[in-house]
């Protein structure tokens, strides 16, 4: 497959040929980046959690998807609830701090916290994640 050369603008910088940016990231087998998924009962709680994660520099970005419907089993009964979905971009080295923060600030007894490995992506975006967090383990 021959890559298509074209100009790209990444975070306000113009690159004459973005082919190299994409190919470097897409050819890698794995990165140290993770997408952590959790939910919150409402937009206010979701925003509070998102701000804490970014303010503590353990997440580069948190997307909040409002008004998802979750159907789940709780205490032996099938339940449903409207929730907000949080998509947290971080590194594998920070997962325990992200998990701990979710547990600390979440109103749920058993909050969802699932980490998905990011195998590949835009090199510029993956670098931005690295540059946006302080990748140190839990104290």
This prediction has a pTM of 0.79
Q: How many angstroms separate the first and last alpha carbons of the chain?
A: 46
What are the C-alpha distances in Å from 37 to residues 63, 71, 79, 96, 123? 10, 16, 20, 13, 22
Query: Can you give the residue ranges of every domain in the chain?
Result: 30-132
Residue 136 has a pLDDT of 67
Read off the pLDDT of each residue in 96-109 and give the average, rounded to a whole number: 97
Share of the chain above pLDDT 90, in %: 74
Cβ(131)–Cβ(33) under 8 Å?
Answer: no
The hierarchical CATH code for the domain 30-132 is 3.30.70.120
Its sign, for the CA torsion 99, 102, 34, 79, is positive
Write the pLDDT tens digit of every residue in 7-56. Answer: 344 444 444 555 555 444 454 557 999 999 999 999 999 999 999 999 99
Q: Kindly indicate the confidence band of residue 5, based on its pLDDT and cuts at 50, 70 and 90.
A: very low
């Amino acid at each position: 497959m021959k890559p298509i050369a074209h100009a790209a603008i990444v975070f306000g910088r113009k690159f004459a040929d973005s082919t190299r940016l994409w190919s470097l990231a897409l050819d890698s087998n794995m990165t140290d980046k993770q997408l952590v998924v959790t939910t919150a009962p409402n937009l206010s709680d979701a925003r509070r959690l998102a701000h804490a994660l970014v303010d503590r520099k353990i997440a580069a970005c948190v997307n909040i998807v409002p008004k998802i419907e979750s159907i789940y089993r709780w205490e032996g009964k099938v339940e449903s609830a409207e929730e907000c979905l949080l998509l947290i971009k971080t590194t594998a080295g920070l997962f325990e701090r992200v998990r701990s923060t979710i547990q600390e600030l979440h109103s749920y007894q058993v909050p969802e916290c699932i980490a998905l490995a990011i195998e590949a992506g835009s090199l510029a975006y993956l670098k931005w994640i690295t540059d946006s967090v302080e990748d140190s383990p839990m104290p």
